[in-house]
Amino acid sequence: MRRKYTEKIHAGRSLGMLKKKNPCVCCPASKRYNATVYPYWSWDSEVCKICMKFVNVPNYNDYANSKCPCRNFGEHEAIKRTWLALEEKGYI
């Protein structure tokens, strides 16, 4: 049985991802943050929606028409939004 991907898990994995040399080629939900590994094999929920909602990606409910934060906002803005969301939500 796969585990439920929650905002709390996403926040913790995002902190780990931000320690990577190039976090914008990573996915916090994927094994070893590898963006080429399909994250749904590990989690039982809609991980992309949780990620995109976390940093206020427009249309996050329709993730098929949205892009990952780095592709949506650009690397620097996505990193900034992630860091600010972590602070605002009390994870750091």
Examine residue 2 and state whether it is found in any structural domain, yes or no: no
72 Cβ partners below 8 Å, 6+ apart? 52, 57, 58, 66, 78
Domain membership of residue 1 (yes or no) is no
Whether residue 70 is contained in a domain is answered as yes
Q: Which tokens is 23 given?
A: 């976090």
Could you read off the pLDDT of 70-87 as tens digits, one per residue? 888 899 999 999 999 999
Residue 37 lies in a domain: yes
CA distance 13 to 27: 9
Residue 21 lies in a domain: yes
Question: Beta partners for 57?
Answer: none
User: Do 49 and 60 contact (CB within 8 A), yes or no?
Assistant: yes
Residue 47 lies in a domain: yes
Report pLDDT digits (tens) over 29-55.
999 999 888 887 889 878 888 999 999
> What range does the domain containing 59 cover?
7-88
For the chain, the domain total comes to 1
Contact between 78 and 72 (Cβ < 8 Å): yes
Tell me, yes or no, whether 29 lies in a domain.
yes
Domain assignment of residue 65, yes or no: yes
